[in-house]
Structure 1
Amino acid sequence: MSKLSKRFIKAAQLVETKIYKMQDAISLMKSIATANFIETAEVHIVLALEPKYADQQLRATVILPKGTGKTISVAVIARGEKITEALNSGADIVGSEELIDEISKGRLDFDKLIATPDIMPLIAKLGKVLGPKGLMPSPKAGTVTTNLHQAIQEFKAGKLEYKIDKTGILHIPFGKVNFTESDLLENLQSIQLSVDKNRPPGAKGKYWKNVYICTTMGPSIEVDITSFK
């Protein structure tokens, strides 16, 4: 077991054993973020889902209105005129078969990979390279599309993909600790709306169980679900 740092212990001591209202939780989270870099703010949502069942799986996307605070590098694999469209739309890396070869040899200097449907059969062989990194294009994630301009612009602006883990929990970044409290709250509200909108058909009874927020290097803070929603 790794040893907790003095900084973490000091921050944890400031978190009371209670459930906080969302606004208070955000304020506290920002105040105890003392790492020597700008930490990411994360929300962890425990849902009443059993992902082993097909009708209780949750995978969707959300656009954070205030962005992620991170510069996203987008790569696009396409052909013909779609190459030009990708370049004109702000893609950082654009290619066709030659880019597929580079990726198969280990090139992964991008945060998001978008592909057109016609080229997906060639990308299938990259599953072992892209899968573990969460970079494999998929229609559900909005990364397999013919509308490259829209996809590139949305991911650059703050579009995120999220997926429930095997224990029924969502882990989603919602900005940086140097964001204002109101901007962080607005991003969280967008996440809440998206999670509710994409509720799996197999979800029964109480959907939301627990919500926690924290920073990359900070202790978790439990949030009152009613204040979150």
Structure 2
Amino acid sequence: MSGKKYTEAKALITKEAYIIDEAIELLKKTSTTKFDSSCEVHFRLGVDPKQADQNIRTTAALPHGTGKDVTVVAFVGEENVKEALEAGAAVAGTAELVKKIEGGWLDFDVAIASPDQMKDLAKVAKTLGQKRLMPSPKAGTVTPEFVKVIGELKKGKIELRVDKFGNLHNLFGKVSFDESKLKENLKSIIKTVLEVKPSSSKGTYVRSLTLTTTMGPGIPLDANAAIAECK
């Protein structure tokens, strides 16, 4: 986005905070890229990720998906490869995947694994961990129900995971989506974040909420109003 276009878009944001409906309407107005921009939500949470019970990692089901084709790979035994591929995995089979990843291939968005295969991921665990792609029981990506989970991921199930500063960043659709679909997706994420509030988290849990489009200015949400609407 050119400096002029960004400045013009930012000038449309005239309030300190917006309710969800207003913010989503503004998202469309402040997107000036030629391509179909993604819509993003950014949370600043009152958690300390260094504390194990506050290191939030979970999943949320977006009713209308993100608008992005999610590439899923499956660490499964040879006897389950065909089943995983038919469910929508781009690549399946632990032996093949380990070999490809050792060779530098990481062209996928989510990795899932059946529990019996986790021991065989040791060779690539560091690489996957650094890229935040390591399957995890907490995120629901280590599961014997891999066929079901692959389907859910392809339909729009996303991972919610705080960074080291206690922030969450997630896509919740495209600018081309109807406002009602963007709202339903956003509310699903907010509800999930509220549901996984750590009991040890003190003070304000959701400190701020901001919506943006790709390369667009931040639109501040009224966090209290958004929380009330999502309860």
Specify the TM-score bucket, using the shorter chain as the normaliser.
over 0.9
Q: Which residue of 2 aligns with 1:9?
A: 7
Q: Which residue of 2 aligns with 1:199?
A: 197
Q: Which residue of 1 aligns with 2:122?
A: 124
Q: Which residue of 2 aligns with 1:67?
A: 65
After TM superposition, the structure 1 = structure 2 runs for residues 14-33 of structure 1, keeping only pairs within 5 Å, are 14-33=12-31
Aligned-pair distance for 1:126?
A: 0.7
After TM superposition, the structure 1 = structure 2 runs for residues 46-125 of structure 1, keeping only pairs within 5 Å, are 46-125=44-123
Aligned-pair distance for 1:91?
A: 1.5
Report the 3-state secondary structure (helix = DSSP H, G, I; strand = E; otherwise coil) of the residue aligned with 1:114.
Answer: strand
Pick which of 150-159 and 79-88 moved more: 79-88
Report the 3-state secondary structure (helix = DSSP H, G, I; strand = E; otherwise coil) of the residue aligned with 1:66.
Answer: coil
Deviations, residues 22-58 of structure 1 (Å, cap 9, x unaligned): 1001101111101111111111111111222223221
CA distance in 2, matches of 1:69, 1:165: 23
Consecutive unaligned residues in structure 1, runs of 5 or more: none
The TM-score with structure 1 as length reference comes to 0.93
- Match 1:226 to one of 210, 224, 227: 224
Pick which of 146-155 and 163-172 moved more: 163-172
Question: Conserved in 2, the CA contact under 8 Å of 1:82 and 1:148?
Answer: no
Pick which of 135-144 and 147-156 moved more: 135-144
Instruction: From the superposition, tell whether residues 79 and 55 of structure 1 become closer, same or farther in structure 2 (CA, over 3 Å).
Output: closer
Report the 3-state secondary structure (helix = DSSP H, G, I; strand = E; otherwise coil) of the residue aligned with 1:35.
Answer: coil
Question: Conserved in 2, the CA contact under 8 Å of 1:106 and 1:129?
Answer: no
| Identity over aligned pairs, percent | 44
Aligned-pair distance for 1:60?
A: 0.8
Deviations, residues 145-190 of structure 1 (Å, cap 9, x unaligned): 1111111001001111111122221111111111111111101111
CA distance in 1, matches of 2:34, 2:220: 24
Aligned-pair distance for 1:17?
A: 4.2
Q: Give, as a single letter, the amino acid of the residue that structure 1 aligns with 2:82.
A: T
Instruction: From the superposition, tell whether residues 96 and 127 of structure 1 become closer, same or farther in structure 2 (CA, over 3 Å).
Output: closer
Q: Give, as a single letter, the amino acid of the residue that structure 1 aligns with 2:188.
A: S
CA distance in 2, matches of 1:93, 1:175: 25
Aligned-pair distance for 1:219?
A: 0.4
Please report the RMSD computed on the Cα atoms of aligned residues, expressed in angstroms: 1.6
Consecutive unaligned residues in structure 2, runs of 5 or more: none
Report the 3-state secondary structure (helix = DSSP H, G, I; strand = E; otherwise coil) of the residue aligned with 2:208.
Answer: strand
CA distance in 2, matches of 1:124, 1:64: 32
Question: Conserved in 1, the CA contact under 8 Å of 2:78 and 2:93?
Answer: no
Aligned-pair distance for 1:111?
A: 1.5
Report the 3-state secondary structure (helix = DSSP H, G, I; strand = E; otherwise coil) of the residue aligned with 1:28.
Answer: helix
Aligned-pair distance for 1:4?
A: 6.8
Question: Conserved in 2, the CA contact under 8 Å of 1:73 and 1:92?
Answer: yes
Report the 3-state secondary structure (helix = DSSP H, G, I; strand = E; otherwise coil) of the residue aligned with 2:149.
Answer: helix
Aligned-pair distance for 1:138?
A: 1.0
- Match 1:162 to one of 160, 163, 175: 160
Deviations, residues 120-147 of structure 1 (Å, cap 9, x unaligned): 1111221232222221111111111111
CA distance in 2, matches of 1:126, 1:210: 36
Aligned-pair distance for 1:80?
A: 3.5
CA distance in 1, matches of 2:14, 2:165: 26
Q: Which residue of 2 aligns with 1:143?
A: 141
After TM superposition, the structure 1 = structure 2 runs for residues 169-184 of structure 1, keeping only pairs within 5 Å, are 169-184=167-182
Q: Give, as a single letter, the amino acid of the residue that structure 1 aligns with 2:115.
A: P
Question: Conserved in 2, the CA contact under 8 Å of 1:90 and 1:152?
Answer: yes
Equivalent pairs counted in the alignment come to: 227
CA distance in 2, matches of 1:73, 1:89: 12
